[in-house]
Structure 1
Amino acid sequence: MVHRITFVKNGKILTNEETQIIIFQKLEEIKRKNKEAKKSGKGDICLNVEESIHAKRDD
């Protein structure tokens, strides 16, 4: 079974490329913050993502 997921930001449907860019940017931000936290002796942290991106399944 295949599900189609539509990502929407500020009322605009995002393309696959736009969605991938946002996801990779967030992953890089998490990696950077985890690296900084390890240097300061705090260990891994969890980044609270405040982006207003919504996903819905199109069944």
Structure 2
Amino acid sequence: MAWGESDRVVDADYGRAVPDAEFRLLPGTGQMPHVETPAELLPVVWEFAEAHARAHVRDEGRGGA
């Protein structure tokens, strides 16, 4: 979960409280990181996608879904 450090609509503690979620706080970002700081958001999304794609490939190799 990527959260804007300067989000004045929803406090970051809500994001931190989501069970089993990966939480990243984006500095200099408010409610819309995809618009405000896409260069900071993209590596977070990419990192998450790569990590979960690798896990999926490993699971398939073991006969899992």
TM-score where L is the length of structure 2? 0.48
Is 1:25 aligned to 2:41, yes or no? Answer: no
Structure number with higher relative contact order (C-alpha < 8 Å, ≥ 6 residues apart): 1
| Matching of residues 13-52 of structure 1 within 5 Å | 13=29, 15-43=37-65
Letter in 2 for 1:30: H
Aligned length: 36
Q: Deviations over 1:16-49 (max 9, x none)?
A: 1110110011111111000000011111xxxxxx
Alignment identity in percent? 14
State the alpha-carbon separation in 2 of the partners of residues 18 and 29 from structure 1: 18
Letter in 2 for 1:40: R
State the alpha-carbon separation in 1 of the partners of residues 45 and 39 from structure 2: 10
* Structure in which a larger fraction of residues adopt helix: 2
- Structure 1: 4+ residue segments shifted above 3 A: none
Q: Which runs of 5+ in 2 are unaligned?
A: 5-24
